[in-house]
Amino acid sequence: MKKYVVLFEKSADGYSAYVPDLPGCVAFGDTREETEELIYEAIKFHIEGLEKNNQVVNPSITDSEVMVFY
Measured CA to CA, the distance from residue 33 to residue 5 in angstroms comes to 16
- Strand order from edge to edge, sheet including 7-11: 7-11, 14-18, 26-29
Would you say residue 20 lies in a domain? yes
Counting the structural domains of the chain, the total is 1
Confidence at residue 70, expressed as pLDDT on a 0 to 100 scale: 47
Separation in Å, CA 24 to CA 3, 15, 64: 17, 16, 23
Q: Write down the pTM of the prediction.
A: 0.79
pLDDT score at 56: 76
- 23 inside domain: yes
What is the mean pLDDT of each successive set of 10 residues along the chain, which is 70 residues long? 86 94 94 95 92 82 57
- Whether 70 maps to a domain, the answer reads no
Cα separation of 40 and 25, whole Å?
A: 10
Name the DSSP letter for residue 3. -
